[in-house]
Structures are given as structure tokens and as C-alpha cells.
Structure 1
Amino acid sequence: MKNRGTVVVGVTEKLHANAVGLDARAPLEVAALLVESQIEAARVVAGVLPELCVGADYMAASLGKGGSLIYAAAGSSALMMLADALELGGTFGIDSGSVRMLMAGGIPTDCRMPGDTEDETGSLLASLADVSGRDTLIAVSASGNTPYTLEAARIARQKGARVIAIAHNPDTPLLALGDCSIFLPTAPEVVSGSTRMGAATAQKIAMNTMSTLMAIQLGHVHDGMMVNLKADNIKLRNRASQIVQVIADVPEKQAKKALSLACDNVKLASLIAAGNLCVEEAQSLLDKEKGNLRGALGRLVHINQFQG
């Protein structure tokens, strides 16, 4: 950004007020400063709760219409993007085909992450060729000026997709492109420009909050339990059993039997165990409530009361 010939330095590139002499201080003092700066960054997210709710609405609407969530970012922001996107399948049962991750330079397969890739935008037209109004793009850039992320947002917007823009400098091009613009006013980094610290902490909280709100809206969370998880290992199969035991108020043996009948589908198993239903009956209740377990359980209670 320029103003009357003078380069305006964004907040993410400024020096932290307490960083003078950082390299000459005792390790404990530096560690305390590094930790406190990230705690302060986390607090910033509390100031954008309405925006996070709007973003979650967009995300849930896209998946509800058969659209996709598309994450786009470079560098440290992309790593936070990956941390959120890659968890959606196992945690909330979101179909992997409905989530796409666009990272400048591609997802690393080793410890090299070249910085020049954030300026390369040539691949984005092909990557976003099939984007439509059903989709939502989550574009993340600490500076708000990253060429790769900006171009992804521009293309998605031109194709009618909704854009959730996350940045840490005000009045930046990325925020101007957002249908939902989330400005996270974190302080300058203790190590200037190293946005893998404070900015990344705030980004992770923001994205995790939005995607969790989205999952709740889609009916994949019940009383704080992940009722749409993919139970594909020993730990998660045990968790699935515990969830069914709590929701249906049944012993472990009955919960595991229900899960076996439901092919480890926690929502179905909870209904089977709670109402002594067959799979088809449980699925019918879920279908009537568009996959919402609470609504299906409410129907089950009503049926039981009527029959009683």
C-alpha cells in the first residue's frame, strides 16, 4: 500500500513495542512475552463473534445445498487452514469431496515451504473452474494482500460463490472482497512478521469456531458430542459407544449392538438403542428431521407417548 509516495507498513509487519533487546533477554522473560502475545491474539477473536456466526451460516448453507467449502491461503495462514479443513471429516463426518484446500505451491510433502509461491496465481483459474453460487470460499491472509489468496477470492466472487475473508490489517483488498469480512486486529508479532504466532493463533480460533458452529447447524453435534464422527479406529469406536450410551441411556453392550446394526453411524445407533428400533425406522426418523438427532429423538418421544 502507498500513500503520497510513502510505503505504509501494515500492522503485521510492524515491530512489537516490547521487542527491543529481545535477543539479549533471559529465555524465561522472552518465553513469557511470546506466550502472552499469543494469549492477547486469542482474545481478539471475541470481538468478531457476529461475523463468525455469519461465516458459519454461509458454510452450512453451502453444504446443505450440495456445494463445497473451499479454503484458500498461503504460508502460515495455509497451515492454519489445513488444520481446520482436514479435521472436518473425522470430527463431523463432512464428506471429503465437499471440502477443497488450495494452498499456494501445493500442500508440502516435506519441511520446505517456499515463500515465492504466494505470488503465483496461474493455477487458480483451473482449480476454481467449477465453482458456483452453491460454494463458499474461506480466504485467509494475515496481511490481506497476498496475491494468491486475493486472486482466489476474486475468481470465486466472480463465479457467484460467497467469500469469507480473514485478515489482520484493516482496509485491505481481501477484506473488501468478502461477503463476510473478518478483521482480526492482532498486535504486531514479537518476532516481526512471523505471523505463525499471534496471527495464526487468532486464525485457528476463528476458523475452528466457524466450522464447529457450522457442524452444530447441520445437526452433527448433540449436547457437545460429535454424533457424526467417523469411528474408524479403536479410540473413536470407543468414543462412539460412549456417546450412544449417554444419549440412549443404555449399557455398553446395547450401545455396541446398536452401532453394529447401524454400521457405526452414531445418530442411527442412538435412535436404535433409545427406541428399540430397526435401522429403517431410525433412518426414517432422521430423514424427517434432515439428519438432526435432537429432532429425531423428539419424534421418538412423541411416538412413544402416543403408543403409551
Structure 2
Amino acid sequence: MRLVVAGAFGVEGKRTEVGAEVLLHESFNFIKGKRVGLVTNQTGVIGNLRHIADVLYEAPEVKLTALFGPEHGIRGDVQDALSIESYIDERTGLPVYSLYGETRKPTAEMLSNIDVLLLDLQDVGARYYTYLYTMSYAMMAAAEASIKFVVLDRPNPINGVSVEGNILELRFRSFVGQYPIPVRYGMTIGELAMLFNGEYGIDADLTVIKMNNWRRDMWFDDTGLIWVQPSPNIPTLEAATVYPGTCLLEGTNVSEGRGTTKPFEVFGAPWMDCAKLTAELASRDLQGVLFRQAYFIPTFSKYRGERCCGVQVHVTDRRIFKPFETGLHIIDAINRIHPDEFEWIKPKPGSRHYYFDLLVGTDRIREQLQEGLPVERIIEGFQDKLSSFMEVRRDYLLYDNRTEGSMKTLPVKEPCSVDIESLEETDEEFEKILTEQRNPRTIDIDRKSITEILRVINAEDKKVPYAVEKEIPNIARAVKLVVRCFRMGGRLFYVGSGTSGRLGVIDAAECPPTFSTPQHLVQGIIAGGKEAVWRSIEGAEDDYEDGRREIIKRGISAKDVVVGLSASGRTPFVVAALLEAKKRGAKTVAVSTTPNSKIGEIADVAISPLVGPEVITGSTRMKAGTAEKLVLNMISTTSMVKIGKVYSNLMIDLKPVSEKLRSRARRIIKVLTGVDSKAAYDTFIRAGCNLKIALVMIEADVDRDAAVRALKESSGIVWKAIEIARKGKQKLNRT
């Protein structure tokens, strides 16, 4: 596998040069004198909008012998899912082979007059897009024919950082999803070619010709390139931005806006109560997006010629907008409001799978939506596999966040906007840190008796709760971020070194046994790794790059929250981790016992309980550590209460996997409801051994189905579910 990089790279502010232009700069050196086949369409243009096919055809150094077109045709004028025939190109007289008809993989005959097969296609950054699999089939054919395969790289139009969605299950492979990658993969088409080749056994003689002046965080309108719509129903970058989510509507009887001027940005149906749906979606407080009631009449596709009541998706902050998650919320809301009208498109004759399942790459999500499982829980269910993909993905990333090019196939080290030298405090500055100052009350502690030492330590420790109390408004802000993160399917990370890191690890480790959370939901990251939990790893806290790597390794994204812990507020490992997390869109919180700290300046929320100098100067395992522990207790416990892990003051999200736990669940039912042992046991059994369902059944006096519906509507909050169930029963009694 080779990478080709131009000799001179641009500087900040210059237009991105696509792989085709780099090939021209190198005077076709890589393909000079070769017979070339080209897989392309209308997007295969260079900066001046000349098409690469025309450039190659006119170049005396190259012999262009055949053209290959993907879905929508080589000119991009054919609607989706329509078969295309092969033909002779009028201008060049070359054969144009269709790879979206009876043949999707080039045949040996098609490749018989070719030495090198080039691919120049603009994809849209979503797994459903068929151009990706036209590429993979062409790579397979090239490998079988022992000819070279070259990808002329192009930008991921919706950036190369954001990764979102579930991993496709191989039994749902189709031409809208061939490989176990997420819906939004955050890679260029060239990087994907490398991943497909390296991970899935294609084994092509692959070369990727990289772009110049492209960074991972760029959106298409940051590149200076002119947008050429990659397919008929992706006319704009705005459509591409929402496509990873609203494309899911293709698997339902809701119009995804085809046949309108805003495909994928509007959706609806003649039977839809769009005012109610708009209000419901607005109430979900999704990040970076607003919803507006809209009406449209499709000129083709679903509900052609019919007036549809619907919704337009308005992205207000694309950096934090999550299209796939939003798409699931849209379908969930429609299903809840229109359970009788909403339908999944049935499998086609000869197919075992719903089209929605092929799009999403599993049948589990459709079943979970049908069951009414909250979207946040659905997203939570695939985070572990998504994290595993991130580990694989990083080995194939070719670009970092700088415009300077380099040949990289290892994890990139993206620069953070911080001067590392500024972290190296002078002695005078270091002494300004509260925890490094001498405590005047303990100057003579070495001369005190044991009892006197204990009393002075106790007196100093009493200051900690008061210092934490002053920070409750900021702690509340942090809790709101964490609760929102959990409801979005995100994760909570604690990052620290030494005592601070150990406290984060402890709080994370205590969440699963205390609140029955999945292991990945709350995680602790400590400088120096696991060994640092047991013993001091000298220098680990100063490893700036390791702080960044830890964030990258875990695939942290905009749905996550990262809490940086540093008594001094200046630990390089933590500073780097927070900067990297912010770059990836995550919400950040700083916990420090130093005012106006560096991590406090970086974070979205700064919590600074000022406990003063330590009893033993610099021993932050004492008051500073106690303050951090109290803050973490408050953040994690309050967050768990607000997502329904507690009813009254009892932990109720038990998983009754043993008789001991089942017995505890029945005792909780008795304590909370006042029923006797037999009633508690009987209801618990009728509730399917689900404690929450049993509590709602007893407290609201409803059957299991009503209790389940109420819990779904309340997102698992028991007291709300009881109120909902009671109101539902009263309404039923009145009728």
C-alpha cells in the first residue's frame, strides 16, 4: 500500500487540493504510459471545475481506455435505486460501464484493457452511500485482475472527526452497508479504502493519493472547493449534514423529502400531525438543531402530488449536532404520536430483511423503537462496539489537523491550542498555588502531640464542606451536562493524575455496583495507566501527549462529558485531555482547588472549592482530595438520581440475577408500597421480575402493560411514571 504526497504543501487559508490535482502536479508520474480505467461521476472535478476524465483523455502521457459509473450514473442524472445500462460516451468514444445495474463489480472483460484503475468520487460521509461499495467491489476486481487500484482522495464533506452510530452486523450486509463500520465514520474515501483493504481481506495493490491543505476538522465549505452535488437528492452541504439521520426515513412510510427542494431536510406525510410532532421534537432539547412545522407536495417518490404535513430540520450548530441520534428521535417521536399510521416498509419479495434494518445494519434498533425503549438507551447499547471501531479506525487516518502533509498511517497527533512551555511554572508562580502554600496553623506540627495533630487536621478538614457548598451552583451546571449526556447515550470520563486520578477511577468503579450502570458509562482515566492506581508513576502527570492520546483512544465525541481533576489546575496530562475533548465537541468540566486555574479557563464549567493550604504543604491527598471526592460524589449520585436510578432514597435499578437480589427487590417493594410479602412477590413475578414495573403497578394500581408504557413515557423515572399511569387510569375510568 502506498501514499503519494505532493512535494509542496500550502499554508493556512489556501484552498484544499483534491487527490486528482495532486496527480496533475506530479505530471501523472504514477500512471504515465499506463492504460487507465476511471471510476467517477459528475463530482470528479478539479479546482477549475474541469472533469478529471477530460483531463486524462487529453493528456498525451496517459491512455484513458474506459469509464465506470456508480449509482446515479457517470453524469449524476439518474434517480436513486434505478438500474443503469452501459453505453459509449459521445465525446470520447470510450465505453462507459455501469456499476449499478446487472453488474456491480467490474468483470474481467471490462478490465482487460486496463493497467491501473483510478477512482475519483465524492462521498457524503455516511455508511448508506453506495459509492463506498462501488469502490470496494472495484478494488476486489482489481485485486483479482492483478492491476493497480488508485484512489484520488476527496474531503469527507461533514468533517473527518465526528463518528456516530451503530456498527453494522454482517448478516445485514447489502449495497447500502457492506462492512462493520458506523453510520458516520469520520474518514475520507481514501482512508476508507485503506480500512476496507486492510481489515476485510480485499488485498488490492492500493495507492491513495492524498489531498493538500485539508484538516480533519474541516467541513466542505471550509475547503474553498465548489460544491458539486454528489447525487440528485444531496443538492447542498446542508442536506449532507442531516442525511446520516433522516435517510433512515427511507425505511418507513414517511417521506424523507424526495421530490422537494429540500430532500432530507424536510420530512412528513399526509396523515402527520406536524404541529404536535414539532412540539415533541423541540421538547427533547436535542443539541445543535431546531425543528419547524413545514408543508410540501412531493413531485415524485412517496406521496407524489399529495400535500404533506411535516417538519423541517434546521441545524443551528453543526459542531454538536448528531444527525443519526436525531434521526432515531424523529422516528421514535413519529411512532409514539402516530402508532396506527406509522409503518416500516416491509421486506421486498425474496428478502428476509426490512429496508430500515438494512440501512441501520441490524434489526435490534427497529425492535427497540417498537418496544418504546428511550433513544438514549438504544445509543448506549452500541457504544462499546463503536469504541472498538475507533481503535481500528485510527490506524488508517492519513490526515491530522494541520495543513502540512505527511505520510501517516499511525494515530495522528493533532496540535492543541496551548503553549506547552506555559505549563512550566517558575518557582514564584508555583508557590502562588493555594495547595503549595504553607499553612500558618501547622508551622509547628512536628512539635505537637498526637492528639493535637489529630485536632488540627480535623479542624482543617471541617473547612472542606463549606468550600464545596459555595460551589453548588457550578456543580449543578456540571450535573446538568452529565444528565443530558447520559440521556443522549454519552459517557462520563474523569481524567486526573495521582490522587485526583485515583479518586476519578474509584468513583467510576463504584457506579456499576451502586447503580447497575454498564461498565462503559462512567470511566476513570489516570495518568500512567492502571499501574498508577497502585503506585506512583513518576513523570506521568507531565506527559502532555499521553493526555491527548487517552481521549483519542476512547473515541470521545460531542455526546460525552470529560471532567478534568487537578488540585493545582495546571497538570499537563489533564490540560491536554480537556483541550482534545473540547476539540472533539465534548462538554468539559474542571475540578480544581486553585482559583482561576488553567483547566478552569479551558472547561465549560469550572468547580473550584478553595480549601486553602494543606496541613502538610503540597499534600493534596488531604483537603484537596477530600473536596474532589465530595464533588465527584455529588456529580455522579445526583446524575444517577435524575436518570431514574433512585426512587425515594432507594436504589431501584437492580438487575435481579440472583435470589439474593430478587429477595432485596421484593423487600424494596414492601418498604416503598406498604404491601405484604405475598403481594410484593406476586406483583414482582407479574412484572417479569422488574422492580420499576412492579412499583408502578402497585402505586398506580395498573396492569403491567400500562406500567411499561408509563415508564417509557417518563424515560424510566418512577415517580413520573406513577403519575402518568394514574392519569391514564383516571382518563380511562371517565370514558
Do these two structures clear the TM 0.5 threshold for a shared fold by scoring above it? yes
Runs of 5+ unmatched residues, structure 1: none
In 2, Cα distance between equivalents of 1:197 and 1:120:
24
In the alignment, which residue of structure 2 is the partner of 1:212?
Answer: 637
Is the 8 Å Cα contact of residues 244 and 269 (structure 1) preserved in structure 2?
A: yes
In the alignment, which residue of structure 2 is the partner of 1:89?
Answer: 512
In 2, Cα distance between equivalents of 1:85 and 1:5:
35
Are the structure 2 counterparts of residues 193 and 256 from structure 1 closer, same or farther at C-alpha, using a change threshold of 3 Å? farther
In the alignment, which residue of structure 2 is the partner of 1:194?
Answer: 619
In the alignment, which residue of structure 2 is the partner of 1:35?
Answer: 458
How far 1:292 sits from its partner (Å)?
1.2
In 2, Cα distance between equivalents of 1:111 and 1:213:
29
Residue correspondence of structure 1 range 217-296 to structure 2 within 5 A: 217-230=642-655, 237-262=662-687, 264-275=689-700, 279-296=704-721
How far 1:4 sits from its partner (Å)?
9.3
In 2, Cα distance between equivalents of 1:261 and 1:131:
41
3-state secondary structure, aligned to 2:595: coil
In 2, Cα distance between equivalents of 1:259 and 1:247:
13
In the alignment, which residue of structure 1 is the partner of 2:541?
Answer: 118
Residue correspondence of structure 1 range 45-56 to structure 2 within 5 A: 45-56=468-479
Partner amino acid for 1:24? R
Partner amino acid for 2:474? E
Is the 8 Å Cα contact of residues 502 and 533 (structure 2) preserved in structure 1?
A: no
Are the structure 2 counterparts of residues 115 and 50 from structure 1 closer, same or farther at C-alpha, using a change threshold of 3 Å? same
Are the structure 2 counterparts of residues 229 and 11 from structure 1 closer, same or farther at C-alpha, using a change threshold of 3 Å? farther
How far 1:237 sits from its partner (Å)?
4.8
Worse-matched range after superposition: 79-88 or 37-46: 79-88
Q: Please say if 1:154 is aligned against 2:572.
A: no
Q: Please say if 1:25 is aligned against 2:448.
A: yes
In the alignment, which residue of structure 1 is the partner of 2:569?
Answer: 144
3-state secondary structure, aligned to 2:493: strand
What CA deviation, in whole Å up to 9, does each residue of 1:97-118 have, x standing for no partner?
2222211111348742224211
Residue correspondence of structure 1 range 96-115 to structure 2 within 5 A: 96-108=519-531, 111-115=534-538
Percent identity, please.
26
In the alignment, which residue of structure 1 is the partner of 2:493?
Answer: 70
Worse-matched range after superposition: 196-205 or 85-94: 85-94
Worse-matched range after superposition: 94-103 or 197-206: 94-103
Runs of 5+ unmatched residues, structure 2: 1-422
User: Aligned pair count?
Assistant: 308
In the alignment, which residue of structure 1 is the partner of 2:596?
Answer: 171
How far 1:127 sits from its partner (Å)?
2.9
How far 1:152 sits from its partner (Å)?
0.7
Is the 8 Å Cα contact of residues 91 and 228 (structure 1) preserved in structure 2?
A: no
In 1, Cα distance between equivalents of 2:544 and 2:658:
39
Is the 8 Å Cα contact of residues 547 and 574 (structure 2) preserved in structure 1?
A: no
What CA deviation, in whole Å up to 9, does each residue of 1:212-249 have, x standing for no partner?
22122212222222222445677755543332223333
In 1, Cα distance between equivalents of 2:696 and 2:427:
67
Partner amino acid for 1:61? R
In 2, Cα distance between equivalents of 1:19 and 1:178:
34
3-state secondary structure, aligned to 1:71: strand
In 2, Cα distance between equivalents of 1:76 and 1:126:
21
3-state secondary structure, aligned to 1:96: coil
Partner amino acid for 1:269? A
Are the structure 2 counterparts of residues 99 and 272 from structure 1 closer, same or farther at C-alpha, using a change threshold of 3 Å? same
Is the 8 Å Cα contact of residues 168 and 183 (structure 1) preserved in structure 2?
A: yes
In 1, Cα distance between equivalents of 2:512 and 2:698:
25
Partner amino acid for 2:513? G
Partner amino acid for 2:455? A
How far 1:165 sits from its partner (Å)?
0.4
For residue 467 of structure 2, the aligned residue among 28, 38, 44 is 44
Is the 8 Å Cα contact of residues 140 and 167 (structure 1) preserved in structure 2?
A: yes
In 1, Cα distance between equivalents of 2:721 and 2:586:
32
In 1, Cα distance between equivalents of 2:490 and 2:706:
29
How far 1:83 sits from its partner (Å)?
2.7
Are the structure 2 counterparts of residues 190 and 264 from structure 1 closer, same or farther at C-alpha, using a change threshold of 3 Å? farther
In 1, Cα distance between equivalents of 2:425 and 2:509:
40
Are the structure 2 counterparts of residues 76 and 205 from structure 1 closer, same or farther at C-alpha, using a change threshold of 3 Å? same
In 2, Cα distance between equivalents of 1:8 and 1:113:
21
In 1, Cα distance between equivalents of 2:549 and 2:699:
49
In 1, Cα distance between equivalents of 2:681 and 2:493:
36
Q: Aligned-pair RMSD on alpha carbons?
A: 2.5
How far 1:59 sits from its partner (Å)?
0.2
Worse-matched range after superposition: 208-217 or 249-258: 249-258
Is the 8 Å Cα contact of residues 2 and 8 (structure 1) preserved in structure 2?
A: no
Worse-matched range after superposition: 131-140 or 204-213: 204-213
Is the 8 Å Cα contact of residues 90 and 229 (structure 1) preserved in structure 2?
A: no
Partner amino acid for 1:22? I
Are the structure 2 counterparts of residues 58 and 43 from structure 1 closer, same or farther at C-alpha, using a change threshold of 3 Å? same
What CA deviation, in whole Å up to 9, does each residue of 1:243-290 have, x standing for no partner?
222333312333244444546532122123445655444222200111
Are the structure 2 counterparts of residues 30 and 145 from structure 1 closer, same or farther at C-alpha, using a change threshold of 3 Å? same
Partner amino acid for 1:99? V
Report the structure, 1 or 2, having the larger helix content: 1
How far 1:306 sits from its partner (Å)?
4.3
Normalised by the length of structure 1, the TM-score is: 0.90
Is the 8 Å Cα contact of residues 166 and 182 (structure 1) preserved in structure 2?
A: yes
3-state secondary structure, aligned to 1:101: strand
Are the structure 2 counterparts of residues 222 and 304 from structure 1 closer, same or farther at C-alpha, using a change threshold of 3 Å? same
Partner amino acid for 1:136? V
Are the structure 2 counterparts of residues 141 and 232 from structure 1 closer, same or farther at C-alpha, using a change threshold of 3 Å? farther
Normalised by the length of structure 2, the TM-score is: 0.39
3-state secondary structure, aligned to 1:219: coil
Q: Please say if 1:58 is aligned against 2:481.
A: yes
In 1, Cα distance between equivalents of 2:659 and 2:506:
22
3-state secondary structure, aligned to 2:636: helix
Larger of the two Rg values belongs to structure: 2
Name the structure, 1 or 2, with higher relative contact order (CA <8 Å, separation 6+). Answer: 1
What CA deviation, in whole Å up to 9, does each residue of 1:57-98 have, x standing for no partner?
000011100111111111111122123222222223332222
Worse-matched range after superposition: 97-106 or 177-186: 97-106
3-state secondary structure, aligned to 2:562: strand
Are the structure 2 counterparts of residues 148 and 289 from structure 1 closer, same or farther at C-alpha, using a change threshold of 3 Å? same
Partner amino acid for 1:53? A
